[in-house]
Amino acid sequence: MQVRAFPDADAASEATARWVSAWIAENPSGRLGLPTGRTPDALYRHLIQARQEQGLRLHDLQVFGLDEYVGLGPDHPASFGHTLRRSILEPGGIARARLWNGTAPDPEKECRDFDQDLREAGGLDLLVLGIGTNGHVAFNEPECDPAARAHVVELAPSTRDANAAAFGGRWEQVPTQAMTLGIAALMEAHCVVLMALGASKHAALQRALHQPPDAACPASWLQNHPQVTVWADAQALGTAT
């Protein structure tokens, strides 16, 4: 994995946005897998700014959500679908988006349908990922099966705790299950951007970069992908002085 290092999160987000903007300018109707969470917030703000100020064309992109809580509908403010719509799809004028139906009566079937929709669309050209403090990517929690495609997962207690802010700070309100693209599906993306910002990601990033691929650190499987770039700040890399 190639690593791009930056002094702080702002610089990392800005540089990532410049690279992603250039990619979009060359691939205006590309298929993008986009994450939610705090990590991509500034990236999305920069992309919207580039649209407004430089006319970056976002509206022909096709976006796929990576994951969703089981039980949360698109109008729930903490649902990932709602978050993606608010942060990038609506301000970007992006109409073509496959988000997960968090309230599907049969989540396993929703996973199969999502996987089929993604395959029929031709797969992801560019995948943007964050990394969890426990090494997860999308919602592939530790001890993940690297052969899994879209599937239902039990969320790790640390993930529910990390995401509690969107639920009034109450981790017990965070759903216990989610649907996610699996490692095998993520690995099929043509090109991967992995963002790691902040000291809380240091341990996970170290393992992802330097330990042999292992189910205990889902992000480590990305070492087997030919085109991954890690965009990280000094805190996540452990080089901050």
Out of 37, 92, 135, 175, the only residue in the binding site for ligand PGA (CB under 6 A) is 37
Q: Does 180 bind ligand PGA (CB under 6 A)?
A: no
Rounded CA separation 110/152 (Å): 9
CA distance linking residue 194 with residue 209, whole number of Å: 11
Asked if 76 is an active-site residue, the reply is no
| Residue closer to ligand PGA, measured from CB, 11 or 113 | 11
Residue from 131, 204, 217, 234 touching ligand PGA (CB under 6 A): that is 131
Interface positions, 135-174, toward ligand PGA (CB under 6 A): 136
38 binds ligand PGA (CB under 6 A): yes
Rounded distance between C-alpha atoms, residue 69 and residue 157, angstroms: 14
- Judged by CB under 6 A, the chain residues 67 through 86 that form the site for ligand PGA are none
Mark the segment that binds ligand PGA (CB under 6 A) among 56-64, 126-134, 167-175, 230-238: 126-134
Q: By C-beta, is 131 or 185 nearer to ligand PGA?
A: 131
Give, for 180, the enclosing helix (H) or strand (E).
Answer: strand 177-180
Question: Which residues pair with residue 229 across a beta bridge?
Answer: 2, 193
Residue 107 touching ligand PGA (CB under 6 A): no
Burial of 77 (0-12, 13-18, 19+ CB in 10 A): exposed
What is the Cβ-side half-sphere exposure of residue 203, based on CA atoms within 13 angstroms?
A: 5
Q: Of the residues 68, 141, 163, 225, which is catalytic?
A: 141
The H or E element containing residue 33 is strand 31-34
Please calculate the CA angle 64-68-72 and round it to the nearest 5 degrees. 130
CB of 33 or CB of 130, closer to ligand PGA? 130
Applying CB under 6 A, the residues found at the interface with ligand PGA are: 37-39, 130-132, 136
Q: Indicate which residues carry an active-site annotation.
A: 67, 134, 136, 141
